[in-house]
């Protein structure tokens, strides 16, 4: 397949912060960018050549994308997979609508992960009220998760008894769910792989992630785990990309268990919050990789240039009257980089930006990053 070169037009479904950072990467590399997003103030639109302000399933907007873009990608998985399949009839689309559809549904996703020979937590697929009338003890205590449209901790309920699980299922309106056994975790890590073909794959250094209220808080790179375990996570991410015949950037989140074994938690068919450290600390960042993959270019090298810590900035950091946080301390730190997403309104739990701190060791970077966050 011929490579797509600048100044070709690239399209992206979704104009949030991931779309914004994609647009910056694409524009820097000499491409033009069309963003499809119904929000007039979409963060990515500030950097796009064209903003199609329309719903993601708008036939006219999708037709414009297909006719004007050499290739199209997405910034989030809850986009219409059928729309992506339709686009693929006339233009290059990555990842495929089929891969996005797998990532949209936890039941399908987990069965694919297992089919690829990789372990998940024990789980029960619940697609009807009959499915939850079975013996539930193998999955308890557990987390009941909606099969579709759940991210950043949304659509999840912790349950410790069969009665709680059945009540939670009823409260979720009887929609398809997964009851997943809670495992004793040592920590959580992620590996982000870029795949163009079987012969063209690159994987980023593994990030160690900590969450707060279901939302990523801090990523530490390199992850503070044994090198062999990190290599294993990278290998598993590549195996999964291969099994899916995936084209693009794929994030794979893992649980590290008490015995140092790895279990796949979930996948995201796009650049990932835990990969934002690559913007300052890697030879190629995850958004450049997204551009390269969709254009059929060899993935860039992923060498880590320095230990780094990424800290998410949620709307909670903003003042109650809407005033900005105290940026001067962060601006004065010569080894820290602030990235703000251009969102008009700060709300608790809303991702507004992040900052990266580079230092001689991951522990030093973490100590400084935490101190900086406390000053905001």
Residues contributing to the annotated binding site: 106, 145, 150-156, 180-183, 188, 211, 265-266
248: β partners:
195
Instruction: Please tell me whether the peptide bond between 306 and the residue prior to it is cis, using omega within 30 degrees of 0.
Output: no
Of 143, 140, 149, 135, nearest in space to 169 by CA: 143
Say whether the peptide bond before residue 141 is cis (omega within 30 degrees of 0).
yes
- Which parts are annotated binding residues for ATP? 106, 145, 150-156, 180-183, 188, 211, 265-266
- What is the C-alpha to C-alpha distance for residues 27 and 39, in angstroms, rounded to an integer? 21
Q: Which residues contact 285 (CB under 8 A, 6 or more apart)?
A: 25, 275, 278, 279
Per-residue burial over 20-49, b = 16 or more CB atoms within 10 Å of its CB, e = otherwise: bbbbbbbbebebbbbbbbebeebbbbebbb
CB 180 within 8 A of CB 119: no
- Rounded to whole angstroms, how far apart are CA atoms 251 and 209? 13
């Amino acid at each position: 397949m011929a490579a797509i070169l600048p100044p070709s037009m690239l399209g992206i479904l979704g104009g949030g912060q991931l779309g914004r950072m994609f647009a910056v990467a694409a524009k820097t590399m000499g491409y033009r960018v069309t963003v499809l997003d119904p929000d007039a103030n979409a963060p990515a639109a500030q950097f796009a050549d064209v903003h199609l302000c329309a719903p993601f399933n708008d036939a006219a907007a999708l037709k414009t994308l297909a006719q004007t873009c050499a290739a199209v990608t997405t910034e989030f998985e809850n986009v219409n997979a059928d729309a992506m399949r339709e686009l693929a009839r006339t233009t290059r689309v990555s990842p495929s609508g089929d891969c996005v559809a797998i990532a949209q549904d936890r039941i399908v996703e987990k069965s694919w992960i297992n089919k690829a020979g990789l372990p998940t937590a024990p789980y029960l697929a619940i697609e009807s009220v009959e499915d939850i009338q079975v013996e539930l003890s193998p999955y308890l205590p557990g987390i009941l998760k909606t099969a579709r449209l759940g991210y950043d901790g949304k659509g999840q309920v912790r349950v410790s008894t069969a009665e709680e699980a059945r009540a939670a299922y009823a409260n979720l309106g009887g929609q398809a769910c997964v009851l997943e056994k809670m495992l004793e975790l040592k920590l959580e890590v992620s590996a982000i792989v870029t795949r163009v073909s079987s012969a063209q794959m690159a994987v980023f250094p593994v990030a160690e992630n900590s969450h707060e209220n279901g939302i990523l808080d801090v990523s530490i790179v390199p992850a503070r785990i044994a090198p062999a375990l990190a290599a294993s996570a990278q290998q598993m991410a590549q195996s999964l990309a291969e099994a899916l015949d995936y084209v693009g950037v794929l994030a794979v989140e893992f649980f590290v268990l008490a015995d140092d074994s790895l279990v796949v938690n979930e996948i995201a068919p796009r650049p990932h919050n835990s990969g934002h450290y690559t913007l300052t600390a890697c030879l190629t960042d995850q958004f450049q990789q997204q551009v390269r993959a969709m254009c059929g270019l060899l993935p860039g090298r992923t060498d880590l240039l320095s230990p780094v810590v990424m800290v998410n900035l949620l709307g909670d950091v903003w003042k109650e009257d809407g005033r900005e946080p105290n940026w001067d301390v962060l601006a004065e730190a010569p080894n820290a980089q602030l990235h703000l997403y251009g969102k008009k309104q700060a709300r608790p739990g809303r991702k507004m930006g992040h900052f990266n701190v580079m230092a001689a060791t991951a522990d030093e970077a973490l100590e400084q990053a935490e101190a900086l966050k406390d000053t905001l």
